[in-house]
Structure 1
Amino acid sequence: MTISLRYSQITVNDVDESLGFYRDALGFTVRNDVANGGYRWLTLGSDAQPGLEIVLSEPHAGRSQADGDAMQELLTKGVLPIMVFSTDDLDATFERVRAAGAEVLQEPIDQPWGPRDCAFRDPSGNTVRINQAV
């Protein structure tokens, strides 16, 4: 028996605005664009991990009003779980994402626990870290 991660959810305020960050700045490819019940979500992926997709959706997509409101509150506070991506060239990735206009939280540094990494905020305020193994 095998088990692997298939989807990872990122809650965003605006799917189209976030698409500019995740597709254009980070380089992910749109795999699926779904509209259902007045909401829309996207899945994006990377050739480096063909079996894994990131799902971008708004707080109320597929949730009750109360749950969507709770997710919106957490998103607004900036306390949803962070995403950590890996790259084989951190400095080039950092420059690409910064040039796309993303808010820089931390420039590339060598962390005492091993990786070299940097951090940004996506357009919805989610923290996105990018690292490169040393």
Structure 2
Amino acid sequence: MISFNSTQVWVHDQDVALDFYTRVLGMVVRVDVTMPEMNNFRWLTVGPEHQPDIAIVLMKIPGEPIMDEATHAKVEELMGKGHAGFLFFTTDDVDAAYAELSAKGVDFVEKPTDEPYGRDSSFRDPSGNHIRLMTPRQMG
């Protein structure tokens, strides 16, 4: 049996990302481990408190030898355009979540609108990752 466990987004600064995903979005830390034997590599994951089996890896863009300078630059460029990582979140009330997150300083790219699949909006995290927030339409 295969199960979903985690996904990863690139971040410029893991501490800034950690603050955003926990303080602003209300997620909890799953794992935060620094490994000195791996050049102080930090494995940092967060997730919704009510979904303990799901984690988002907040991964700092690596340099050599993992990623050469040209690839690193391409990832940075894609992040700046909001195309290096996408996350899709659902909520019972996207309008209430929009109001709450806007009050916390989140700059939405798209305000909530009605779509065939539900009520949908979008914003970006501090690293530029595109996040969609929606209330799914009840089908049937």
TM-score (norm 2): 0.82
Q: CA RMSD in A?
A: 2.0
Correspondence 1:102 to 2:101: no
Superposed displacement of residue 22, structure 1:
1.1
- Where does residue 62 of structure 2 map in the other structure? 60
Amino acid aligned to 2:123: F
| Matched ranges for 1:1-134 at <5 A | 2-36=1-35, 37-60=39-62, 64-66=66-68, 67-111=71-115, 113-134=116-137
Percent identity of equivalent pairs = 37
Gaps of 5+ in 2: none
SS of residue in 2 equivalent to 1:124: coil
* In structure 1, distance between residues paired with 2:79 and 2:5: 23
**Structure 1 residues 56-65 or 25-34, which shifts more?**
56-65
Runs of 4+ in 1 over 6 A off after TM superposition: none
Equivalent-residue separation in structure 1 for 2:124 and 2:27 (angstroms):
16
Q: TM-score of the superposition, structure 1-length normalised? A: 0.86
1:105 is paired with a residue whose SS is strand
Structure 1: any 5+ residue segments left out of the alignment?
Answer: none
Contact 2:121–2:132 (8 Å) recurs in 1? yes
Between the aligned partners of 1:7 and 1:62, the Cα distance in structure 2 is: 25
Computing the radius of gyration from Cα coordinates, the structure with the larger value is 2
1:70, distance to aligned residue in structure 2 (A) = 3.8
